[in-house]
A and B are shown apart, each in its own frame.
Chain A
Amino acid sequence: MRIEAIRAWLDERLSISTLAALASKKEVPVHRHSIWYYFGGMTLFLFAVQVVTGILLLLYYRPSSETAFESVQFIITEVKFGWLIRSIHSWSANLMIATLFIHMFSVFFLRAYYPPREITWLSGVFLLFVAICFGFSGYLLPWNKLAFFATKVGTEIAGVVPIVGRPMLRFLRGGDDVTGATLTRFFGFHVAVLPAMATALITVHVLLVQLHGMSVPPKLIGQPVKKMKFVPNFLLRDLIGWILAIGVLAALAALFPWELGEKADAFAPAPAGIKPEWYFLFMFQTLKYIPAKIWKIDGDVIGILAFGFVAMLLFLVPFIDRSPENRRRRLIFNVCGVLALLYIVGMTIFGYVT
């Protein structure tokens, strides 16, 4: 009885029953490609894991060049289960970006960006860039040798963009070189700026998905499709996935703990064979193999501009392929998408093998 009274009290003020009614109405289409529907939620779950483990790490981490490395060392040696929280944070970051890519590609191939879902797509692309920035800024925070040089190289590449490159480099680095100032700046991005942006974008993204409902693949548009209730069916299935994800993270943390390495030394030479994290590797490899000069322009500049162009195309996807009627355009898009996927996967593997 008391529970009923509390529920009624809350409902009067928060309209919980309205929300509950809306939630119970939400349905998820069931078809051959339904499996891909899970990846958005998985990405969101892993993001939540990042937020929780990130806040926990904040209790002990110190963002200055003299203290950062030692504080992470402290976390993984002295703090109870510190090793677990830190390794989960590092692994979950990677898993999140992986599921994010899968989510994006599945949305692409299943054309979930057709009207009225263009803004959902745009917010998603923004989220992709936010996630990559999260990865890049977070990677520097332990202030170890690998991270230091990865940041140096990465910001160097950013500086290659014509006109805005140099000011951008100085903005990112907090100066001309990678120093403690860079660390402080990256820390600010990582724990304040990017989370704020992510929260806003995720809110927009998820609300829009609820507003528009789940999309169906083009072939099934207009056709009767079996549906499953979101609550509790799909949600419970989601839950299975999330529980398994926790298991995977725990296993990775215990069996393949994330390395700490050696403290960064600004004056030491770069260690041999440094590579950026895997989600940057395909770009890194591409830049490596672009010839030094193409028609008098620096190869690096061409590479960066090419990537910038592709990023812009990514934004424009729902405005280029607008309707399910145009079968030829769909085919071209499919081919481009497959090529892009193969290129990314291929270059990543190539980067690891060499």
Chain B
Amino acid sequence: MGNTAGDKTNRDPEYPDPQPNTRRRFLDYLLGTSALATFGAIVYPIFRFMSPPQVIESTESSVIAAKLSEIPINSGKIFKFGNKPGILVRTATGEFKAFSAVCTHLECIVQYRPDTKQIWCACHNGQYNLSGKNIGGPPPRPLEEFKVNTRGDDVVVTKA
């Protein structure tokens, strides 16, 4: 029951430290690495999150419908606009026009006819002029028109 001077822990030398140094150090080591690993597992997704993804921005109000070089005069192209299809038309005069490609009759996808220079729906022979107005066949309403701008080689379509 002696008390070694300087030993602040009041320990009885007959009853040694219940946890020897090695075990304590092992626990500390495990704790340290495990904490680090978990911290890494938390920080890793955060850093990946912060780095910009492949597709730079959410495509809702504007989308790059096509490249200028790949749309010849007097032709049309279907592109994705948000969740719906759109049609980009380069008229015979070189002007760009874009509309919703969903036919207002029964929602088939319309196409551009270079021969009639009109937008045509193959399902029931619906016709729209280049202002999107329904001019023939069963469609009851015009096609929604979008705004088109060119930025360098990109043709950008935005909601009107």
Chain A residue contacts of B107, Cβ below 8 A: none
Least distance between A88 CB and chain B CB atoms (Å): 10
Determine the chain B residues whose CB is within 8 A of the CB of A66 once the complex forms.
60-61, 159
A232 to chain B, nearest CB (A): 12
B58 contact set on A, CB distance < 8 A: 60, 62, 67, 70-71, 73-74, 78
Q: Is B57 an interface residue (CB 8 A)?
A: yes
> Helix, strand, loop or mixed for chain B's interface?
loop
Which one of B42, B49, B60 lies within 8 Å of A70 (CB-CB)?
B60
Give A331 to B90 CA distance when docked, in angstroms: 81
Indicate whether B19 reaches chain A with its CB closer than 8 angstroms.
no
Query: Given A66-B60, A70-B58, A71-B58, A79–B53 Cβ distance below 8 Å?
Result: yes
* B107: min CB distance to chain A, Å: 17
Q: Does B69 contact A (CB under 8 A)?
A: no
> Interface size (B, Cβ < 8 Å)?
18
B102 → A minimal CB distance (Å):
16
In angstroms, how far is the closest chain A Cβ from the Cβ of B79? 16
Given known contacts A70-B82, A80-B48, A80-B49, A246 and B42 CB-to-CB distance under 8 angstroms: yes
Verify B55–A78 contact, CB threshold 8 A.
Answer: yes
Instruction: Collect the chain B residues with CB atoms within 8 Å of residue A56's CB.
Output: 46, 49-50
Interface 1/0s, chain A 54-85, versus B by CB < 8 A?
Answer: 00100110100011011101100011111011
List the B side residues contacting A59 at CB < 8 Å: 49-50
- What chain B residues lie within 8 Å of A67 (beta carbons)? 58, 60-61
* Alpha-carbon distance A243/B55, docked complex (angstroms): 34
CB distance from B56 to the nearest CB of A (A): 9
Interface string of B63-107 (1 = CB under 8 A from A): 000000000000000000010000000000000000000000000
In the complex, are the beta carbons of A80 and B159 less than 8 A apart? Answer: no
Identify B53's interface contact among A62, A80, A85, CB under 8 A: A80
Given A66-B159, A70-B82, A246-B42, are A79 and B59 also a contact pair (CB < 8 Å)? Answer: no
CB pair B82–A85 under 8 Å, yes or no, is no
Enumerate B18-48 residues with CB–CB distance to A below 8 Å: 38, 42, 45-46, 48
Contacts of A70 in B (CB 8 A): 58-60, 82
16 sampled A-B residue pairs with Cβ under 8 A: A59-B49, A60-B58, A66-B60, A66-B159, A67-B58, A67-B60, A70-B82, A71-B58, A78-B54, A79-B53, A81-B45, A81-B46, A81-B49, A84-B45, A85-B46, A246-B42
